[in-house]
Structure formats: C-alpha cells, structure tokens
Amino acid sequence: MADRAPPDAPRIRAAGLTAFYGAFAAVKDVTLGFGANQIHALIGPSGCGKSTFLRTMNRMHEVVGGHVTGQVLLGNEDIYAPGVSRTRLRRRVGMVFQKPTPFPTMSIYQNVAAGLKVGARLPKARVDEIVERALQQAALWNEVKDRLHTSAVALSGGQQQRLCIARTVAPEPEVVLLDEPTASLDPQGTQRIEELLFTLKAAFTIIIVTHNMQQAARVSDTTSFFYLGSLIETGPTKQIFTAPAVEQTEAYITGRFG
C-alpha cells in the first residue's frame, strides 16, 4: 500500500503497522497519517480492522491482549518505543467508545473531572473552569449546569455519550479517537454528536470509526477505507465518495457488499 498521508504534517501517523490478536493479524501493514484540526473517518465492513486500528492509536487494543509490529508516531515520537507509558500516552490520545460509559458512582461533575485526577493537581477553581469548558465543548453544559452534582447515569443515552466526550476532552488530549460513538443512539442524539464534532475539530485531531457511510460523508475531512485488515484507499472525503480510485471502495460505498 502506497504512503498517502494527508498534505499537512500529520499529528499522528501509523507506519507499517500490523496489529495482532495472538497469531491473527487484524490490521495488516497500514501506513496512514492524520492531520491536525481535521476529522478523519475510518470506514469498512465489520471485521475489517478499522476499530482495531483505532485502538492501536492509544494502545487500547493491548487491554484485550493484542500487540503490534511497526510504528505509530505521535508528533515524532514512537508510542510503541520501549519505556513509553501507556497511561501517559492515553492522556494525550483520548478515546470515546461505542456505548456510553459514564462512571456510575460519580456525579456529572466528577465524571468530567475524572481524567484530570491523573494529571498535575489543579486548584478547585481551575477544575470548575475546565469542567464547564469541556461540557460546553460537548454541547451539554446548558442541559446539566443545574445538576452537576447529580448522578451521571440518570442522563439519557445521548447525554451520557456527550458526557463521555466531555470527559475525554477535559484533559485536553491532542488526538480524540471515537469508536462508533453514535452506534447506540437515536437519530436526534446522533445529530447532536455530529454537530459538536465540528466545533471540536478546532481544538483536536479527531479520528472516528463509523459503520455509517452517510455519517462519514457528513462529518469528515478525510476518509480511509479498510477491508480485511488492509487499508484500501484514503483521501479527502469528497474524493472517496465521488471518485474512488479503487474498485473495492466503490463497491462498498455504493452498497454492493458489507
């Protein structure tokens, strides 16, 4: 697969990356970069390796026993170099999951502030500021500002997911990974999330895995198509959806398989 990184210097970039679960290669030799302040969509049929690839960006696939060969460069540091701390890496590359995962024992406020706990100690006033900013960014502030100290599990599914986005962006990571963040939401909840992604990209590099091609087309700046663990094609979203270069890509986006 040829190296076709987006034009501007990538914020995070995989180079010759192969990801394994045991002996099974779920992602095969992918080289792909993601520019700052853009939204990048990863698409492909289920089992194509797009989620695994996403999880290699902050080494979350290792939680379920995966490993990789190749490199992922954050800036110009290899996140798989020996001595790299996964916890420190994840403070710089945050992640939002398919199902909302608010911490059930914490209030809304505590949930948003949860990621700040592992960084340097901050004064209360500063934490208040960050929580408000993060909830604003996640378009949730107006709905919850009067009940910040109530349980987070009382929120609706869509609100919970926006809460998780607020929790992820509160510590100001450089990169935000989203793994099918709207898969469990209704259309209205999905729309809110898509809208807030546009505001978020001013501050972050965003990579989103989605099984929904319309969503990729609506929100992303670049799109990469995965199939059977390989990166088939990547490019500006418009180009991928209107004039794909590879036949498999065309087959997928026109719904002929998947």
- Binding another protein by CB under 8 A: which of 47, 75, 238, 256? 75
Binding flag, residue 72, another protein (CB under 8 A): no
Closest CB to another protein among residues 129, 247 = 129
**Positive or negative CA dihedral for 188, 194, 200, 202?**
negative
Binding mask 109-148 for another protein (x = CB under 8 A): -----xx-xxx-----------------------------
Query: Which stretch in 1-9, 91-99, 124-132, 188-196 sits in contact with another protein by CB under 8 A?
Result: 91-99
Residue 216 · residue 132 · CB < 8 Å: no
Nearer to another protein by Cβ, of 105 and 242: the residue is: 105
Binding residue for another protein (CB under 8 A) from 13, 90, 162, 192? Answer: 90
Contact 240, 77 (CB under 8 A): no
* SS3 (DSSP) at 257: coil
**Residue 61 in contact with another protein, rule: CB under 8 A:** no
Listed in sequence order, the residues at least 6 apart from 119 whose beta carbon sits closer than 8 Å to its beta carbon are 91, 171
Of 127, 103, 116, 132, which Cα lies nearest the Cα of 172? 116
Rounded CA separation 49/103 (Å): 28
172 counts as binding another protein under rule CB under 8 A: yes
**Is 161 among the residues that bind another protein (CB under 8 A)?**
no
Q: Which of 46, 76, 87, 142 binds another protein (CB under 8 A)?
A: 87
Longest C-alpha distance within the chain, in Å? Answer: 56
